[in-house]
A and B are shown apart, each in its own frame.
Chain A
């Protein structure tokens, strides 16, 4: 699944705390609203829980729509029937390859969107649709559901089921900065989004077992407990400090691995947490 070959150009990132200063730039900026980005919500085989999560930014959603993003597509919230051109497509759900409309729609999404974000476990990893095996009337042939990344190139991953309103919000704000911000803001956005882009490159399979494969088996687990906290079905317990996954509960949402500080930890962003969190808060006021 994964290529562990040595890449000589990659050096571990030194522990530096220089982002904090940059993050503050974002706040000082007086007129953040040059023009808004165009965002669409594309609904494949998902449950709309991802969209509910987006809406669960409550007042923040209204601010995002006022200042940063126009919702140009989204069958549930907006009155638009056909996929338009957009800057960012938030795709929810996996793709039923026996349903031609779905397959066409996901391809069209790739053509129409500059950035494709897979939102939620279903879009990223298949989630519960990984268990689907057809046989149910009235469409017993609907048997195979693929994560979006198996059919098109996906740029950014937001795993989890449901994904959290706060992570969706952060990605939207960062996408805005990436597309419309000044040099420093673009820099920060790039750094922030990098691990979520790398998750997209990592692959379309996830499960609690990843904690074993890519953390414990790799000698990296230090027993913090983040994975257990993240799991939306309480499949993870800690036994003598290390994760135990109840595989008959796991729904394959990918939250645990992505939340683990030993899946990725980008010092160059996280060290600046104070400034970045303040900036995001400020942006949504």
Chain B
């Protein structure tokens, strides 16, 4: 395995031991459980998470400072939630000194760039106490999700209970028990274009990153990456927050994560290269080379 999984100190399969969290969590409830633990222990004094808004399945970032608020953020909403937009405000009118933030790999990149190059993020860099990344193959504009659910899956968005991408399919579960699966080739056209130059699948820059891939249903694959992440993770384990299984002993295991990560990076690297000859002697911008 190469660099596609980033640096990590530990990779493990895990699930929260809190039944309440698992009721509505997307996978093993890792994100909500760590934040809950960190909040209760005073490791963070709030977390930027994404919760429901006034339109069905449209996410809205907010700052959760209580477990009650945190519980509202459980589950994945497969469309854009600009979580990083709160990263400065959290230190201002919310007065946080130790911020938790969850986000996709690109959002973790944004957080780290913000810490190293805080152009407009005064006094934020040293206040990031816990950055949790979630795996991500792609994301969608809201309208895409609407069309996928309402046109392709023939369900009203309001009556959807859960959405999921896994086992090569886009799954839509209805409130009344219906299950629709769409092949991923249908979803591709609906993806957000910015995802096509994305070179990170498993949130390489998070303190802890997690996703469903690699672990059995209801469980999550977890990478513990940084000193901070390691510290919090070991304390949470010691406190009995998680059940764990060695990643080597679960199916489909790390190999699948690696495979998907490589596929994503290879495909998108190609897109990045093709952009260099997009026009006639005219390139599209390449953010990995220069801001010009």
Contacts and interface: CB of A to CB of B under 8 A. Distances in A.
Interface string A217-260: 01111111110111110000010111000000000011111110
B289 interface: yes
Interface string B252-292: 00000000000001000100110011010111111111111
Contact of A219 (B84, B118, B196): B196
Contact of A228 (B7, B85, B125): B85
Given A10-B286, A265-B109, A241 B82 contact: yes
B192 interface: yes
B84 A224 contact: yes
A166 B123 contact: yes
Interface string B107-151: 101101111111111110110000000000001011100000000
A163 B285 contact: no
B103 A224 contact: yes
A269 B142 CA distance: 33
A138 interface: no
A165 to B, nearest CB: 7
B286 A12 contact: yes
Contacts of B194: 219-223, 262
Given A202-B292, A220-B194, A270 B205 contact: yes
A10 B284 CA distance: 13
B109 A270 contact: yes
Contact of A218 (B116, B277, B285): B285
A162 B61 CA distance: 26
* Residue from A6, A222, A228, A230 with most neighbouring chain B CB atoms (10 Å): A222
A257 B107 CA distance: 15
A222 B192 contact: yes
Contacts of A159: 119
B182 interface: no
A228 to B, nearest CB: 4
B195 interface: yes
Interface string A158-178: 111011111100100000000
A218 B103 CA distance: 23
B81 A241 contact: yes
Q: Is the interface of B mostly helix, strand, loop or mixed?
A: loop
A225 B83 contact: yes
A221 B121 CA distance: 19
B199 to A, nearest CB: 5
B227 A224 contact: no
Contacts of B89: 229
A10 B272 CA distance: 12
Nearest to A253: B120
Interface residues of B, number: 73
Contacts of A10: 276, 286, 289-290
A6 B275 CA distance: 10
A15 B199 contact: yes
B236 to A, nearest CB: 20
A17 interface: yes
A225 B61 contact: yes
A70 interface: no
Interface string B185-215: 0000000111111111000110000000000
Contact of B120 (A220, A224, A229): A229
Interface stretch (A30-38, A81-89, A128-136, A272-280): A272-280
A217 to B, nearest CB: 9
A55 to B, nearest CB: 13
B190 to A, nearest CB: 13
* Residue from B6, B79, B125, B284 with most neighbouring chain A CB atoms (10 Å): B125
Contact of A229 (B84, B112, B269): B84
B106 interface: yes
B3 A255 contact: no
A264 B58 CA distance: 29
26 contacts: A6-B283, A7-B283, A12-B272, A13-B288, A15-B4, A16-B3, A17-B3, A164-B120, A165-B123, A196-B117, A198-B291, A201-B292, A218-B285, A219-B284, A222-B194, A228-B82, A229-B88, A230-B88, A242-B80, A254-B119, A256-B120, A259-B113, A262-B197, A265-B113, A267-B199, A273-B112
Interface of A: 2-7, 10, 12-13, 15-17, 20, 53, 158-160, 162-167, 170, 192, 195-196, 198-199, 201-202, 214, 218-226, 228-232, 238, 240-242, 253-259, 261-267, 269-271, 273-274, 276-277, 281
Interface of B: 3-4, 6-7, 58, 61, 79-89, 103-104, 106-107, 109-110, 112-123, 125-126, 139, 141-143, 192-200, 204-205, 226-227, 265, 269, 272-273, 276-277, 279, 281-292
